[in-house]
Amino acid sequence: MNILVTGGAGYIGAHMTRYILRHGLRPVVLDNLVYGHRASLPEKTKFYRGDIADRRLVTKIIRKEKIDAVLHFSAYAYVGESVENPRKYYENNFSKTQKLLDTLLDNNVAHFIFSSTCATYGAPDVKKLHEKLPQNPINPYGFTKLAVEKMLADYSRAYGLQYAALRYFNAAGADDDGAIGEAHDPETHLIPLALQSILRPARQLKIFGTDYPTPDGTCVRDYVHVYDLAAAHLQALDYILKNKTSDCFNLGSENGYSVREIIKACEKVSGRKVNCLEAPRRAGDPAYLVADSSKARKILGWRPCYDLEKIIATAWNWEQNRRY
């Protein structure tokens, strides 16, 4: 099977690409390298540098590489930036995705796995988020992802597209061998920043908000390893292919950890102290986001394999030996 991975040189996309190779399928990566890293891809990976909205390029790739299905990772994902510059997000995450989808359908590629997000739910006041909750995003990033979900549902009804929208919770961790890992610029995510503050104590970690209505006052999130996410993509692809259907799934561990608990876990794994200080809340952060992923478990047979300590251990290994 030939699988087009858009954004395949990004953080989750690069892990997906390796996972596909390890499972005997053939990834073809399309990435514009705005945020992605060419070094994150194994030498032999078929790679195209370009834009998902470039109709000629995407058509050429589909025909030349005999693409059967598409895993669509390419998107901008900085929530704060999406508030400052929503145009960039609607254009890249929504408009370009529409152009990509149209090109796929015009070339009879009708199997599509979409990287969605728990940010499409907004900030609901529930213990665990399930797929039937209303989706009310609280920032443009979440809206762009929700808009694509709506478009997928309409395209599916009208044109027979078969898709899965996978709503990730907090993607984290790195390759077990340390070959690739998280490398955002700028980095905004908690686990890499906490580990970087251990390696370079001058980079103090700010704890954004200590007055949330949570057990220790800091935000609670559900962290899931990138290879567990990757596994769900192939399971979802298999599911939509076999059942000729479309659906959406939450992907989270169902375990919530506060910022302080993550800091403690980073200290335990590394054996060293995180240099941190308490800071005001970061705008747009919901207090508590934990998945109910029973649907993915039941329908796809998905089981996350990495617990928090394993997630952080892979991230720590990467941070100490980063190649890019």
List active site positions: 141
- The whole-angstrom separation of Cα 28 and Cα 319 is 27
> Whose structure tokens read 């950890």?
257
Question: Would you call 132 exposed, middle or buried from its count of C-beta atoms within 10 A (0-12, 13-18, 19+)?
Answer: exposed
150 — phi, psi (to 5°)? Answer: -65, -45
**Shortest separation between residue 21's beta carbon and ligand UDP, angstroms:** 28
Q: Footprint of ligand UDP on this chain (CB under 6 A)?
A: 170, 188-190, 193, 205-208, 219, 221, 259, 282, 285
Cβ pair 105, 159 in contact under 8 A:
yes
Whichever of 163 and 168 has its CB closer to ligand UDP, that residue is 168
- The whole-angstrom separation of Cα 136 and Cα 176 is 36
Q: Encode 12-39: b = buried (16+ Cβ within 10 Å), e = exposed.
A: bbbbbbbbbeeeeeebbbbbbeebbbee
**Shortest separation between residue 233's beta carbon and ligand UDP, angstroms:** 19
Whichever of 156 and 170 has its CB closer to ligand UDP, that residue is 170
For 284: left if phi > 0, alpha if psi spans -120 to 50, otherwise beta; the answer is left
Whichever of 61 and 183 has its CB closer to ligand UDP, that residue is 183
Identify which of 272, 79, 251, 266 has the alpha carbon closest to the alpha carbon of residue 191.
Answer: 266
**Shortest separation between residue 220's beta carbon and ligand UDP, angstroms:** 8
